Amino acid sequence: MDALAVQRQIRENASYLQDYYSDLKSWEKDIAKKEAAITGGAKKPAPRVRNAVAVNVRGSADSVSITHPLSRLQSPAHEAPTKAPPANHVYDKGYKKWESFDVEAALKEIDEPTPKTPEVAPLPAHVQRKSVPKAAPKPTSAASREVLEKEDGNTHFKAGEYMAAVKCYTRSLGYNPRNPVVLSNRAMAHLKLKEYLKAEQDTTLALQYDPVHVKSLARRATARNALGKHRLALRDAEAALALEPLNKTLQAQLKTTREAVKLAVKRASAHSVPVAIDIAPQEIVAAAPTSHEPVVVDIPTTAAAPPLQTRSIAPPKVKVKVPEKAPTTSYEFGRVWKSFRFAEEVLTLRRRYLDLVPVAALPKLFKDAIESDLLVEIVHALGTRVDASAVAFLEGLARVPRFDMVVRFLSNDERSAVATVLAEAEAVLQTSLPSLKAAYGI
């Protein structure tokens, strides 16, 4: 029990860490958008120079008007300098006009600033130094790298590049060596490469971390059949079918494995079996007292051996209650979902559990943690009661990130199971669902 508790705690910590990195990445994107909105405006222009001021110097003969030096900077350099006209309000002998000159109004006109459009104040210096980059070239978190490498492996596997898929899965396991899904996927790639011993090792390791992973049981049965271990393969096939009794692929695999076991028994009974008998010295006549050599007697076996009796491995039935609250994380959903496997009414309990999950919360709940086997199990549960809520749930699953990659990795039997549920939904609702079929690759 201690080992199982430690494994469960490790998976829970890994799930929480992945959720934390996803939230941190979303926060960085929001901060980058806000910063771009603040700093994206036009630069603040320099303040305009005050109006030119004419300084008049009264001489004895005539008045002289001298232009302010700053007003020269505003005039183009190629224009020839012109003599500024004398000010209208200052004359050498016009004392009466000088008395009527409004000094306050002139100063107010000079000091009056040019109207400006409102501008956004720039960020402080300490904020600009701590700005967040808009787009990172590569994800830095181990959880993100693990998911990306796994998806690259799925892409290579779909393209038939099994060796490249093995390398990608191996890099993904470098970030999380306890991921049973990646181990099972690498085992499938080994099966395609006919590396059956490596496939058996990967599936065995995956079942250590998740003893009820159906695909690992089925793939280990395939590897053991190829290695001639038909009895062990029969155990795996029976255990997988006990977990998913409606899976047609597992039913066919169990039938093939039983035939292989019977054929192996017949082949063994058709050959003679050498038996080594150790005879005591006193039973040997004309032999030395110290002679103690084994005698090999060839006993032909003509009668066929009795057929091998197989025993089904049925998991214990337990009573499981459906939680009252909807799950908030993918780890919580997976933990409760797996607990229904040993219940008497698996599909009914799972269907009731799906009714608790809001359809709008599916993208946030699963994020990029949904797998093809979980998707198929959800479809089987929805098939127990096909109605408008089931169709809405399927549409919500199609909005989960990287859903198209998961659909591409479905097998033909799994895809046919999805098509059956969608066809039943069209018959119940009396309408066609072309967009939903396209989303599920049907």
User: What DSSP line would sit under 314-343, residue for residue?
Assistant: PPPPB--PPPSS--SSHHHHHHHHHHGGGB
Q: How confident is the model at residue 157 (pLDDT cuts 50, 70, 90)?
A: very high
Question: What confidence tens digit (pLDDT) does each residue in 253-310 have?
Answer: 999 899 888 888 777 655 544 545 444 444 434 444 444 444 444 444 444 445 545 4
In angstroms, the CA 388 to CA 395 distance is 11
β-partners of residue 56 are 65
pLDDT for the residue 48: 62
In angstroms, the CA 369 to CA 400 distance is 9
**How many angstroms from the chain centroid is the CA of residue 173?**
15
Domain definitions of the chain by residue range: 145-266, 330-440
pLDDT for the residue 200: 92
User: 213 near 237, Cβ under 8 Å?
Assistant: no
Q: How confident is the model at residue 207 (pLDDT cuts 50, 70, 90)?
A: very high
Q: Which CATH class is domain 145-266?
A: mainly alpha
Mean pLDDT on 358-375: 84
H or E, element range at 237: helix 230-243
The torsion defined by the Cα of 191, 419, 373 and 222, in degrees rounded to 10, comes to -30
